Amino acid sequence: MKSILVKKAISATLMLSSFVAFSAAQAQDANAWPNKEIRLIVPFGPGSTPDQIARIVATEASKTLNQSIVVDNRPGAGGNIGTGAIARAKPDGYTFGISINGPLVYNQFLYKNLNYDPNKDLYPLTLAVTQPNVIAVSTGSGIESLEELAEEIKKDRNALNYATPGTGSGSHLTQALFLQAIDGEATAIPYSSSPQALNSLIAGDTQFTALAPIALVPLAEDGRLKLLAQTGAERIEALADVPTIKETGTADIVGAAWSGFVISNKVPQNIKNQLQKALYDALNEPSVIKALRAQYMEPTPSTPEEFKAYMQEEANRWKPLIESVSLEM
């Protein structure tokens, strides 16, 4: 019996020693961070809006961290594949990512089997940018204002089609919210990308859309589109002549797109703090602000607490709409 007790005591001591050694090694690694290349996962393809933001900010943040930040594009499933990869990454601080409204808020209500929990598995480092969508029509429609579009929609329910770059996308939900606010009905026509949605509008297959400014402005400048309203709370500087939805008097709604940087919640807090500061400072750098605003984006650096609160506000705003229009996938 004494022999068994001694063996158990030795085993417990070894286990405790191993745990202490592992914890010490983990703490040492955290204190030395970063001492190698850092990976930044983007849940969308090269050239996408999140990809552009990631590359602009990473270039500046890498100077502060004195390490390279390499972009790793992981597109698919509306951003769920890449965002899930961020959540499941080894929690050593050498993998973080950028994500957007959908994977961080909408998709928890849209997908039955989401393989990550954005509220538990991810730590919000900082918001990156906000960006309005812009409601637009073809100039051939003869519609000159959002008020006129609302009247056309209500005149003959479901007579008009609207283009979206995918079911459950920010564009789709913003337009659905607008229709709900004016008590109107129209048919959503989903496409696989913003260019395809835009082509449908120009061809006349759809009658209105709401997309990112960078896709619409060139076509408005050459006379093919009319920009009716931007969906943010305030006008952005680059679209000073386009009113917000609220300013038109048509509806009091906001539906801005946004993105932010996140990391596995299991990463040591001191690493989270260092990375957050590097990203926050990068987003406040004048050259970064200029580059982002040139793409019709407004830099919105935040604390983790502010970012978390914003995500909760967005969840409260969009969950009832998603449930009311039965979009679950």
What CATH number is associated with residue 179? Answer: 3.40.190.10
Checking DSSP bridges between strand 122-131 and strand 134-138, what pairing results, if any?
Answer: unpaired
Q: Do 214 and 294 lie in a common domain?
A: no
Which tops the pLDDT comparison, 12 or 279?
279
Q: Do 268 and 229 lie in a common domain?
A: no
Q: Do 150 and 235 lie in a common domain?
A: yes
Q: Do 284 and 204 lie in a common domain?
A: no
What would the mean pLDDT of 105-117 be, rounded to a whole number? 92
Can you give the residue range of the structural domain that contains 279?
Answer: 33-130+258-324
Does 122 score more than 50 pLDDT?
yes
Position 15 scores a pLDDT of 53
- The total domain count for the chain is 2
pTM recorded for the entire structure: 0.83
Does 27 score more than 60 pLDDT?
no
Token pair belonging to 155: 């005149």
Q: Do 95 and 164 lie in a common domain?
A: no
Confidence of residue 113 (pLDDT cuts 50, 70, 90): confident
d(CA 217, CA 3): 81
What would the mean pLDDT of 173-181 be, rounded to a whole number? 94
Helix axes 49-65, 286-293, angle to 10 degrees: 170
Token pair belonging to 282: 């990068």
pLDDT digits over 268-300, tens only? 999 999 999 999 999 999 999 999 999 999 999
